Amino acid sequence: MKAIETTGWTEYELIDTGNFEKLERFGDVTVARPEPQAVWNKSLSQAEWDRLANAYFVRNKEGKQSQSMGDSERGEWRIKPRTKEQWYIQYKSQQLNLSFRLGLTSFKHVGLFPEQANNWEFIFKSVQQIKEHQPTPKVLNLFAYTGGASLAAKAAGADTTHVDSVKQVVSWAKENMEASHQDNIRWIVDDALKFAQREVRRGNTYNGIILDPPAYGRGPQGEKWILEENINEIVSLCKQLLQPQHSFLVLNLYSMGLSALVGESLVKSIFGELQNIEVGESFITDSFNKKLPLGVFIRFQL
């Protein structure tokens, strides 16, 4: 068990955290938004937060979602004049050069989870290693959102399938693919669980599977996803979909009710003992050296 800090961003900065909020710079836009794990005090004054933030997310006073539906409560952005509501940033490393279109959504998100960059590097490296045995590895990205992991797999040379239940989000991911000068990602608008069930029936297999499920969600036909109730089934399906050799799996869990140990026990109960497994927390350190945990990961190679 370990904690892995995401570093390497030049266009993203976690400026300050505290009082259940975080202050972040994405390119030349700085946003303040809720963060349920920032239980400590802010280092900067509220006046300084107000000065720095181009946009401040405020939850609706009424109609909040229950905690079981995740922490993405609806609200609105208070935006300063001349602030961009859509803009682009880049992630560059020795291996990757990716571009993302960001935007201010009514669920406090901006279209990017910066802590996932560490997983993008793992995905790229894993695909490159698999290519020594298979020229074009197949990678499946479930609950794929705006496609950071899909772009990493494609950049490494994988035949990549991207599955998300929200048509608008898949369109957003296509914009990111084009901005990153990529093409030929396979786009699927579908319920992730139903898609995995059908792929098992079809006898399809993959060299890499990425799972990034929300705590709560809805499929395109109103299918209900509840993480605690459905995670065992979908990981079991992934066992059938994953090639037994020259393959990898990445599982992210954001629910505050599920620990890294829960994820590790789940994966090992389905896949058995694994030699090359990494389990831990992802975190980003703010400019005052406070470490903000941003979900747990379980990843391994076969």
| Average pLDDT value for residue range 11-40 | 96
Taking a C-beta distance cutoff of 8 angstroms, is the pair 227, 213 a contact? yes
Give the pLDDT band (50/70/90) at residue 257: low
Beta-strand relationship, 86-92 and 75-79: unpaired
Q: What gap in Å lies between CA 135 and CA 196, rounded to an integer?
A: 24
Contact yes or no for 288/300 (Cβ under 8 A): no
Average pLDDT over residues 92-100: 95
| The listed CATH number (3.30.1330.90, 3.40.50.620, 3.40.50.150, 3.90.420.10) that belongs to domain 113-301 | 3.40.50.150
Is residue 56 within 8 Å of residue 77, measured between CB atoms? Answer: yes
Which residues does 208 contact at the CB level (< 8 Å), separation at least 6? 123, 126, 127, 130, 137, 138, 139, 140, 153, 158, 247, 248, 249, 250
Contact assessment for residue 174 and residue 166, using Cβ atoms and an 8 Å cutoff: no
Per the model's pLDDT, the better-predicted residue between 281 and 255 turns out to be 281
Give the pLDDT score at 30: 97
Residue 73 confidence (pLDDT): 65
- pLDDT recorded at residue 57: 94
- pLDDT digits over 28-71, tens only? 999 999 999 999 999 999 999 999 999 999 987 654 443 333 44
Please say whether the dihedral angle defined by the alpha carbons of residues 192, 197, 198 and 199, taken in this order, is positive or negative.
positive
As a whole number of angstroms, the distance between CA 190 and CA 192 comes to 6
Smallest CA-to-CA distance from 242 within 267, 265, 223 is with 267
pLDDT score recorded for residue 63: 42
CATH 2.60.40.1180 in the chain is located at: 8-89
Tell me how far apart the alpha carbons of residues 180 and 267 are, in angstroms, rounded to a whole number.
Answer: 33
CB contact at 8 A, 139 and 210? yes
Structure token pair of residue 81 = 């004049």
**Average pLDDT value for residue range 101-128:** 94
User: 266 with 296: CB under 8 angstroms?
Assistant: no
pLDDT for 141: 98
Give the separation between CA 152 and CA 156, rounded to whole angstroms: 6
In the chain, which segments carry CATH 3.40.50.150?
Answer: 113-301
* pTM reported for the whole predicted model: 0.91
pLDDT tens-digit readout, 203-253: 999 999 999 998 777 777 777 877 778 899 999 999 999 999 999 999 999
- Tell me the fold of 8-89: Immunoglobulin-like (2.60.40)
